[in-house]
Amino acid sequence: MVCFKELFSYALTLLSRKDYSEKALRRKLKEKFPSCAKEALDSVLRELSSQGYLNEYKTVWNYFEEKEKKGWGKKKISYSLRQKGFNENIVREVELTYPFDYSYVKELLSKRYNLKDRKDREKAKRFLNSRGFSYSEISHILS
């Protein structure tokens, strides 16, 4: 099965550069190899999953870690992952279980804003809201 080998090789090349959702990887493979059968594509994706190269849970968790360090909130991270085509249930599960640490955001706010000043406090709230933090998270961070 020539198509399988080509698909598998190209998929490994893609996955060596960055993590993909199954949906995004399927789309990439279809674009590159439009003549390959759906069965070959399905078997490549199954094989990648069974060998651990395609693990959406691990990818979503790593994405949460990466974006948390950039100061993103849970809502923004989850929305971004859903836009990228990751499984809704996996995103929700990681969102609920991920041990979110607000220390980086608190440090960033203390550098940017004088939180004792009412106007700066309002600016900080808007900033956090734009970064995808819920109102309960914002009140927790600013308390």
State pLDDT tens for residues 76-86.
999 999 998 89
CATH of residue 25 = 1.10.10.10
Tally the domains of the chain.
Answer: 3
* Residue burial 91-130, b: 16+ Cβ < 10 Å; e: rest: beebbeeeeeebeebeebbeeebeeeeeeeeebbbebbbe
% of residues, the chain, pLDDT over 70: 99
What's this model's pTM, rounded to 2 decimal places? 0.78
Query: Structural domain of residue 65, as residue ranges?
Result: 57-97
Task: Give pLDDT, residue 110.
Answer: 86
Considering only CA atoms, give the Rg of the chain: 20
Domain match, 9 and 45 both: yes
Long-range Cβ contacts of 135-138 (<8 Å, 24+ apart):
137/73, 137/74, 137/102
Domain match, 109 and 135 both: yes
Domain match, 73 and 88 both: yes
State pLDDT tens for residues 35-50.
888 888 999 999 999 9
Domain match, 6 and 28 both: yes
Task: Give pLDDT, residue 14.
Answer: 93
Domain match, 107 and 92 both: no
